Every structure is written in C-alpha cells, then in structure tokens.
Amino acid sequence: MWPIKKKKDIDENYLKMVQTHLLNGSYTAIATHDHRIIAELKAFISSNHIPGDQFEFQMLYGFRKTLWHELVKEGYNVRIYVPFGQDWFGYYMRRLAERPQNVSFAFRGLFSK
C-alpha cells in the first residue's frame, strides 16, 4: 500500500514538478486552485523569466472564480474546464472531496453574479 502523504509533501512535490517542466522549456499546465501554490509559481515564473506562452493555469469551472479572473487581469493564460462524459458527476465529486474548501468554492461560484 502507498504511504499516505501529507498535503505539505504533496504540494512541495507538485511545485518541484511544475518548476522542472517550466525550466526545461516544456509547455506546462498548472492545474491547481490553491492560491499559495499559484503565488509561489507566479514568483518563480517572474524570477526565471518564463514566457507567458509557455504555461497556463487550469481550473475547474465553479471553483475560485475570483482567482481566475484576477489571473486573467494580470495577463496570465487561464483555461477553465468543465467535466463531461459518462462519469462527469463522479469526477466533479472527487475534485470536491479532495479538499473540503472546494465545496465552499463551488457553492460560492454557483451563487455569485
């Protein structure tokens, strides 16, 4: 059985993987709703002069709407995706369950203007 990892360890590993992709010139999809990870990657991108056409932020529709609007206003490429297909509901529910905060983000997104 895989060892259970702490969120801190998972986040650190995710940052290392994204940074490695960016430094190697690979087009990188930064798929996260975590504002701390996004802030750290924005600083990394700036300090390493990573061009804006080498990456995009990706978020699930209904999560962190204010955050993705802020990223767009700052000039970043942002892709918002909507799950579809036979298991779209299961996929969406798994994303909600991954992080309890996701539920509140989704509800706020549903009821915002």
pLDDT at 1 over 50: no
Q: How far apart are CA 92 and CA 74, in angstroms?
A: 28
Phi and psi dihedrals of 112, rounded to 5? -85, 165
pLDDT at 22 over 70: yes
Read off the pLDDT of residues 36-51 as tens digits, 9 standing for 90 and up. 999 999 999 999 999 9
Q: Mean per-residue pLDDT for 31-36?
A: 91
pLDDT band (50, 70, 90) for residue 7: confident
Domain locations along the chain: 24-111
Read off the pLDDT of residues 45-102 as tens digits, 9 standing for 90 and up. 999 999 999 999 999 887 788 898 999 999 999 999 877 777 766 766 666 666 655 5
**pTM > 0.85:** no
30 by Cβ neighbours in 10 Å (0-12 / 13-18 / 19+) ranks as buried
* Predicted pLDDT of residue 65: 84
pLDDT band (50, 70, 90) for residue 112: low
